[in-house]
Amino acid sequence: MTGQPETTHLEGHIAITAALEAASRPVETILIDRAARDREGHLARLERLARERKIPVQRVAREVIDARASGDTHGGVIALAGPRRFVPLEGVLPGGGTGRAPFVVMLDGVEDPYNFGQAIRACYAAGADGLIVRPRNWMSAAAVVARASAGASERIPTAVAETAEDAADFCRGRGLRVATTGQTRGAVSLFAADLTGPLFVLIGGEKRGVTRSFLERADLVLTIPYVRVYGQSLGTTAAAAILAFEVMRQRGG
């Protein structure tokens, strides 16, 4: 996968537990601070999951973990892991018999790994079935993305498409309506649109946004209305949360 290192570190019990439960990547070794307190039992549960999957766990000095971690929010546990396992595009669609319309999201052009992770977190919490990303994406910063997403980036089925147009064509061919956000003639308020059917939503980054060619081909262009006159667009994380939770609300979530 372009942009992914062969090995990376996941930090914190939430991200590591998510990776183990979702089998989203190979986990080689887990390091736990030998002096760490486990008042709520999170580390004990993590060790139990690791034993079930035959993954070695080492109790080490805090300094060993600090030297490998990208920050100081690891909570005394890190994992040496391999690259993210991606699913084919078909894998982002819910299986048959779910009784609900598919809801797939693509994040494109998000330039900050924290924003990327937090946007995934919102979409996952609101019930998105799958995520599509470009080959060059923030999965290369797995520790930051997994931590910012509270493990959602490891749990949500994720596929790769070369371009947003490729992802849209795939989803449209499976009966999904292609939607995005923008200020164009014919754009409709998010709260006035019908989002209950099968839906693919492209969310662009803060700087580049969505290309004009994509806007022209989209089945539905949405706007997020403001209470007051304000000429600035929302950041990716806020826009993703508003969009995803409006989809959830309309579907009775």
Q: Same domain, yes or no, for 46 and 162?
A: no
Which of 81, 114, 130 finishes a domain? 81
Q: Same domain, yes or no, for 22 and 126?
A: no
- Residue 2 is assigned to a structural domain of this protein: no
CA distance 218 to 226: 23
Residue 100 belongs to domain with CATH number: 3.40.1280.10
Chain CA centroid to CA 67, Å = 27
Please, are residues 113 and 140 in contact by the beta-carbon 8 Å criterion?
no
- Model pLDDT, residue 237: 95
- Model pLDDT, residue 139: 67
Q: Same domain, yes or no, for 94 and 166?
A: yes
- Model pLDDT, residue 53: 96
Q: Same domain, yes or no, for 222 and 99?
A: yes
Range of the domain at 12: 8-81
Please, how many CA atoms are within 13 Å of residue 42, restricted to the half-sphere of its CB? 17
**Which of 173, 167, 165 is closest to 214 using CA atoms?**
165
Mean per-residue pLDDT of the chain: 91
Q: Same domain, yes or no, for 54 and 114?
A: no
pTM for the model = 0.91
Q: Which amino acid is at 127?
A: G
- Model pLDDT, residue 163: 94
Q: Same domain, yes or no, for 162 and 206?
A: yes
Which of 51, 81, 111 finishes a domain? 81
Q: Same domain, yes or no, for 126 and 51?
A: no
- Residue 230 is assigned to a structural domain of this protein: yes
Q: What is the pLDDT of residues 13-29, one digit of tens each?
A: 999 999 999 999 999 99
Which of 39, 64, 81 finishes a domain? 81
Angle among Cα 69, 116, 134 to the nearest 5 degrees reads 110
Residue of higher predicted confidence among 140 and 182: 182
- Residue 154 is assigned to a structural domain of this protein: yes
Q: Same domain, yes or no, for 124 and 59?
A: no
pLDDT at 253 > cutoff 60: yes
Q: Where are the alpha helices (DSSP H) in the chain?
A: 13-22, 42-52, 62-68, 113-125, 142-148, 152-155, 164-173, 212-217, 236-250
- Residue 1 is assigned to a structural domain of this protein: no
- Residue 134 is assigned to a structural domain of this protein: yes
* SS3 call for 75: coil
CA distance 15 to 27: 12
- Model pLDDT, residue 14: 95
Q: Same domain, yes or no, for 68 and 93?
A: no
Residue 57 belongs to domain with CATH number: 3.30.1330.30
Burial class (CB in 10 A: 0-12, 13-18, 19+), 81: buried
| Structural domain total, the chain | 2
- Model pLDDT, residue 106: 97
Q: How confident is the model at residue 1 (pLDDT cuts 50, 70, 90)?
A: very low
- Residue 40 is assigned to a structural domain of this protein: yes
Please, are residues 31 and 78 in contact by the beta-carbon 8 Å criterion?
yes
Q: Same domain, yes or no, for 77 and 176?
A: no
CA distance 180 to 38: 44
Q: In what order do the strands lie in the sheet with 57-60?
A: 8-11, 77-81, 27-33, 57-60
Q: Same domain, yes or no, for 124 and 220?
A: yes
Q: Same domain, yes or no, for 243 and 122?
A: yes
- Model pLDDT, residue 98: 67
